[in-house]
Structure 1
Amino acid sequence: MTKKHEIYMPTEEEDAEINRGIAADPDTFVPSDEQFARMKRRGGRPRSESPKVSLTVRYDADIIEAFKASGDGWQTRMNDALRDWLKDHQPA
């Protein structure tokens, strides 16, 4: 059985001391409201022009094993194989 860790909350005096330390740190930067408003959120990758669709599908084990055996990128190769098949066939 694991022992639960207790959350330690600083007293008001300890919290004030922590904040004084933060304010005294020369590397601390507190942006003004105007600077904060100009900041742009960055993160994640750009949106794809043709996003993928997540779904659950079932294939025979030997098909999956064959694609996996071809190494990293097997799902992309499987997608390409299906796309190639569609060039010559009409789905029912």
Structure 2
Amino acid sequence: MKHDNTSKPWGFSPEQIAAALDAAPYKVEDPDTPYDPNDEAAVNAFWENAEVRMPGQRGKQKKPVKIPVSIRLSAEVVDYFKQGGEGWQTRLEEALQTYIAEHRKAA
């Protein structure tokens, strides 16, 4: 059996909410906001195309998604790239991209 929620949301009455909104500053000053938060049309335009995602859910990709593969590399190659610390797989990817670019020109 489904139970009805009989409590008030947040425990505030509509009158208390209205009083708090009336007491709030008239203008919002936020230089980091990409739109004027005091302009309702600008706020609506900004949020019109917003995507709602669950935590951990990826959004649209700017670049093509990489393909997971399993390859065997020599210890020397892995050690070389891991010596640079975090991001070693990205550096390995960049080295392979450079190799491809150089060899495509020659072909």
User: Normalising by the residue count of structure 1, what TM-score does the alignment of the two structures yield?
Assistant: 0.53
Displacement of 1:27 = 2.9
Identity percentage of aligned residues: 26
Unaligned runs of 5+ in 1: 1-14, 29-39
CA distance in 1, matches of 2:64, 2:92: 17
CA distance in 2, matches of 1:61, 1:26: 63
Letter of the aligned partner of 2:81 in structure 1? F
CA distance in 1, matches of 2:78, 2:9: 53
Bigger relative contact order (CA 8 A; separation at least 6): 1
Cα RMSD, aligned residues only: 2.5
Of 54-63 and 41-50, more deviation after overlay is shown by: 41-50
Unaligned runs of 5+ in 2: 11-50
Q: Which runs of 4+ in 1 moved over 6 A?
A: none
Displacement of 1:67 = 0.9
- Please state if 1:53 is matched with 2:67: yes
Displacement of 1:47 = 2.6
CA distance in 1, matches of 2:76, 2:7: 61
Letter of the aligned partner of 1:42 in structure 2? R
